[in-house]
Amino acid sequence: SRPAVLVARAIQPEVVARLREHFEVEVNSDDNIYSRDELIARLQGKQGVMTTGSERIDDGVLAAAPGLRAVCNIAVGYNNLDVPAATARGVLCTNTPDVLTETTADFGFALMMAAARRVTESEHYLRRGEWKKWAIDMFAGSDIHGATLGILGMGRIGQAIARRGAHGFGMKVIYCNRSRLAAEIEADCKASYVSKDELLRQADHLVIVVPYSASSHHAIGAAELALMKPTATLTNIARGGVVDDAALAQALAAQKIAAAGLDVFEGEPAVHPALLQVPNVVLTPHIASATRATRLAMANLAADNLIAALGFGPQAGRPPTPLNPEVLKPA
Ligand code: GLV
Ligand code: GLV
């Protein structure tokens, strides 16, 4: 009989149709986020699951779903998955790198520019009917072109942002990363490696693209914000929790930095109430990868992984983007 799989959120019908070619598919068409107990109940009898950041797959969930063989996340970030626990249980985990890199970099740039040029703050003013006359310093912000772009986390997305800044806007690019990039990648991105303190001190525009983990928790807090220029902007498209949102709201309110752009939040979809009170922050609901084409490519890549992981399709046994390939048995 055909393996049974769970699609834990509503996804594009054409991707579900691909899964139905191989599997008995249960889809969460209502798109209500499952409680932990409901997720465990729905996983009974399933060999595979497609998840998003809203489903937490930890060792307890894995223990309660012993038939599970593959967890395919529709996201590049995977801090919702306990990959070591899955590996210990022989469960394959996959994510969706590469297909979202350029789209996400575009959005990082959009947020950075919106923060620096006060796009949403000035629009709110206009919509409130407060625009009575032009003024010489009205909503004056800071330049992007020629400024220093600081990137924290120089993975694929960080590099794509660096290329935009260096080649498109003539920015000076500096970055900090766990390890220094190869010289040819630095040359392609026109990026210089600096310490985290130098990054914070020198950046006119800081963009955060570092994955969330215990070691990146509150990588930007009050002490780090205090090193930044009062004219600087901060953009977070990585994960909530990399930035201390309460400390950031305080820094914005006190004009310790000029502005921020945030697509991700600690405890999202809740947003720290202090952030909602400060005008100099652009807030978006975790949409950096959200173009129709890219969200479809992400779901299709997750489906490719699930189909291959359970032994079907042209890549049977060789899922394209495994996180723990060591669980795959040699063919
Ligand atoms: C979105 O945040 C992702 O990790 O793809
Ligand atoms: C993160 O994983 C990235 O692709 O930058």
The domain boundary residue, chosen from 283, 302, 318: 283
Q: How many CB atoms lie within 10 A of CB 220?
A: 26
Distance 35 CA to ligand 1 centre (A): 21
Say yes or no: ipTM exceeds 0.85: no
Q: What pLDDT does 124 receive?
A: 97
Q: What pLDDT does 243 receive?
A: 98
In a shared domain, residues 245 and 116: yes
Token digits of residue 191: 């990026």
In a shared domain, residues 153 and 225: yes
Q: In this structure, are strands 233-236 and 205-208 parallel, antiparallel, or unpaired?
A: parallel
Contacts of 264 (CB under 8 A, 6+ apart): 236, 237, 238, 239, 240, 242, 286
**Cis (ω within 30 of 0) for the bond into 269?**
yes
Q: What pLDDT does 329 receive?
A: 76
The domain boundary residue, chosen from 266, 283, 300: 283
Q: What pLDDT does 330 receive?
A: 67
In Å, how far are 177, 210, 271, 317 from 196, measured between CA atoms? 8, 12, 27, 41
Q: CB of 208 within 8 A of CB of 242?
A: yes
What is the domain count for the chain? 2
Position 303, amino acid: A
77 lines ligand 1 (CB under 6 A): yes
d(CA 214, CA 216): 6
pLDDT tens, N- to C-terminus, the chain (331 residues): 899 999 999 999 999 999 999 999 999 999 999 999 999 999 999 999 999 999 999 999 999 999 999 999 999 999 999 999 999 999 999 999 999 999 999 999 999 999 999 999 999 999 999 999 999 999 999 999 999 999 999 999 999 999 999 999 999 999 999 999 999 999 999 999 999 999 999 999 999 999 999 999 999 999 999 999 999 999 999 999 999 999 999 999 999 999 999 999 999 999 999 999 999 999 999 999 999 999 999 999 999 999 999 999 999 999 999 999 999 976 5
In a shared domain, residues 263 and 140: yes
In a shared domain, residues 271 and 316: no
In a shared domain, residues 270 and 318: no
In a shared domain, residues 168 and 296: no
Q: What pLDDT does 324 receive?
A: 98
In a shared domain, residues 142 and 274: yes
Which domain does 272 fall in, by range? 101-283
Sort residue 119 into left (φ over 0), alpha (ψ -120 to 50) or beta.
alpha
Ligand 1 atom having least distance to the Cα of 264? 2
In a shared domain, residues 90 and 108: no
* 234-292 tens-digit pLDDT: 999 999 999 999 999 999 999 999 999 999 999 999 999 999 999 999 999 999 999 99
For the entire predicted model, the pTM comes to: 0.96
In a shared domain, residues 184 and 223: yes
Position 124, amino acid: H
In a shared domain, residues 260 and 146: yes
Q: Active site includes 268?
A: yes
Relative to the alpha carbon of 75, which ligand is closest? 1
In a shared domain, residues 222 and 313: no
In a shared domain, residues 38 and 79: yes
CATH number at residue 52: 3.40.50.720
φ/ψ of 169, rounded to 5, equals -125, 5
157 lines ligand 1 (CB under 6 A): no
**Catalytic choice (69, 239, 272, 295):** 239
